[in-house]
């Protein structure tokens, strides 16, 4: 008997534009939140806004009113430092009030610099040590497969953390156990805290490496929401192996002075001047998307 499969619906043109508009607003709120906090990561969260938007507003089976719903899809975040974009997306999805975004990184806040599920329902895992999320997701997917569950396990990972050996141990486990209900999403933005990945510890040919480990490998433009949605559906249609989606993204996406610059990996706009300059760019793009929706 084949595994239970929940399809990911294809996107209409209006749905696509609506998601693009939502991702743009999420970038605006993200930068406003980071600037107020005065610390955090800008580049990775901006680069992953399209994917988080697609996940929470189209791909995932979840219920913000029941964050621990047993039948929910599981979304692990291995590169926990990009959690600000997850917080903003969750707030827009209804997990908690948007006003709470102003508490990022404050003492007593549920929105810490790395995700803490004991504080905020709707998070699946803590993360800080890079690479651990891959194994956590594997264990959860394995349990789901044993139970014959319909829910799917996704895990978002950075490309830099692929330098950690635990990732490849997890890949061996996932392949050996044919975890068809597991999808890794690699943020292939080519930067890490010390510079460019290919200068520090080259990862290419990444597609061939994952294929050699027995993964179904899909490469996409990480800013093309339709491509990502289609890739998630293809992943769910693969019954013989785990899937990895290598999502090529631009760190700092949407703000020209941040894009593809490793210096923005772990810093925020320093003042309202930088913030307002970034917001002007995003609002100009938002206006263009809105005109297409009209």
> Per-domain residue ranges for the chain?
13-293
Q: In what order do the strands lie in the sheet with 216-221?
A: 74-77, 153-158, 182-188, 243-248, 216-221
Host H or E run for residue 184: strand 182-188
Model pLDDT, residue 129: 84
Model pLDDT, residue 128: 76
Model pLDDT, residue 121: 97
Residue 17 near residue 246, CB atoms below 8 Å:
no
Q: What is the mean pLDDT of residues 66-77?
A: 97
- State pLDDT tens for residues 148-192: 999 999 999 999 999 999 999 999 999 999 999 999 999 999 999
- State pLDDT tens for residues 17-59: 999 999 999 999 999 999 999 999 999 999 999 999 999 999 9
Report the distance separating Cα 181 and Cα 3, nearest Å: 9
CATH class of 13-293: alpha beta
Q: Is residue 201 helix, strand or coil?
A: coil
């Amino acid at each position: 008997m084949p595994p239970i499969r929940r399809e990911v619906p294809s996107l209409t043109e209006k749905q696509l534009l609506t998601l693009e508009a939502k991702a743009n607003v999420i970038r605006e709120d993200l930068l406003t939140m980071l600037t107020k906090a005065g610390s955090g990561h800008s580049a990775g969260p901006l680069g992953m806004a399209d994917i988080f938007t697609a996940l929470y507003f189209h791909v995932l089976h979840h219920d913000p009113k029941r964050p621990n719903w047993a039948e929910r899809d599981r979304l692990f975040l291995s590169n926990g430092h990009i959690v600000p974009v997850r917080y903003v997306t969750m707030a827009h999805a209804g997990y908690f009030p948007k006003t709470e975004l102003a508490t990022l990184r404050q003492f007593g806040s549920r929105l810490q610099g790395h995700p803490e599920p004991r504080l905020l329902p709707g998070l699946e895992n803590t993360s800080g040590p890079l690479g651990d999320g891959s194994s956590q997701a594997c264990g959860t997917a394995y349990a789901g497969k044993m139970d014959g569950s319909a829910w799917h396990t996704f895990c978002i990972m950075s490309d830099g953390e692929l330098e950690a050996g635990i990732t490849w141990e997890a890949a061996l486990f996932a392949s050996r156990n044919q975890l068809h209900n597991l999808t890794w999403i690699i943020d292939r933005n080519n930067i890490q805290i010390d510079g460019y990945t290919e200068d520090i510890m080259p990862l290419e040919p990444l597609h061939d490496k994952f294929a050699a480990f027995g993964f179904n490998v899909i490469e996409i433009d990480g800013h093309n929401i339709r491509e990502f949605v289609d890739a998630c559906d293809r992943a769910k249609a693969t019954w013989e192996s785990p899937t990895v989606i290598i999502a090529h993204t631009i760190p700092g996406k949407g703000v020209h002075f941040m894009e593809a610059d490793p210096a923005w990996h772990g810093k925020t706009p320093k003042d309202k001047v930088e913030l307002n300059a970034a917001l002007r760019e995003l609002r100009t793009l938002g206006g263009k998307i809105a005109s297409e929706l009209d």
